Chain A
Amino acid sequence: MIVRILTEGQYNLPGQFVDKLNEVDNKIVAVVELDDEESFERLLQEMLELVRKHGSPVPIDELLESDIVLPEPDLTIKEAKELFTGEGLLPG
Chain B
Amino acid sequence: MGMLSRMSTVVKSKMNRILDNAEDPSETLDYAYEKQLEMLRKVKKGVVEMVTTKRQIEIQSNKVQSNIKRLEVQASQALQIGREDLARLALQRMETSKSELEGLSNQIMNLEREQEKLTQAEKRVQAKVQAFRNKKEIIKAQYNAAQAQVRIGSALSGISEEMGDVSLAIEKAENKTESLRARAGAIDELAEAGVLNDFSGSQDSLSIELEQLSAQQNIETQLAALKSKISSEEKK
Q: Which residues of A are interface residues toward B (Cβ below 8 A)? A: 4, 6-7, 9, 21-22, 25-26, 28-29, 60-66, 68-72, 74, 80, 83-84, 88-92
Contacts and interface: CB of A to CB of B under 8 A. Distances in A.
A66 B169 contact: no
A12 to B, nearest CB: 14
Contacts of A6: 7, 11, 165, 168-169
Contacts of B135: 63
A68 B8 contact: yes
B131 A91 contact: no
In order of increasing CB-CB distance, the 7 nearest A-B pairs are A63-B158, A25-B2, A91-B13, A61-B131, A69-B7, A7-B169, A60-B127
B33 to A, nearest CB: 12
A63 B3 contact: no
B205 to A, nearest CB: 44
B117 interface: yes
Contacts of A84: 3, 6
B6 A7 contact: no
B139 to A, nearest CB: 12
B128 A63 contact: yes
What is the size category of the interface that chain B forms with chain A? 20 to 34
A74 B175 CA distance: 13
Given A61-B128, A89-B10, A72 B2 contact: no
A64 B135 CA distance: 12
Contacts of A22: 2, 4
Contact of A91 (B17, B128, B130): B17
Given A62-B131, A63-B162, A89-B9, A7 B172 contact: yes
B132 interface: yes
A29 B3 contact: yes
22 contacts: A6-B11, A6-B165, A6-B169, A7-B168, A21-B4, A29-B2, A60-B123, A62-B131, A63-B135, A63-B162, A65-B154, A66-B161, A70-B4, A72-B169, A72-B172, A80-B3, A83-B3, A84-B3, A88-B6, A88-B10, A89-B6, A90-B13
Contacts of A89: 6, 9-10, 13
A68 B7 CA distance: 8
A70 B2 contact: no
Given A6-B168, A71-B7, A63 B121 contact: no
A23 B135 CA distance: 37
A25 B13 contact: no
Given A63-B158, A66-B8, A4 B165 contact: yes
B4 A83 contact: no
B2 A28 contact: yes
A7 B119 CA distance: 11
A65 B157 contact: yes
B127 to A, nearest CB: 4
A28 B124 CA distance: 29
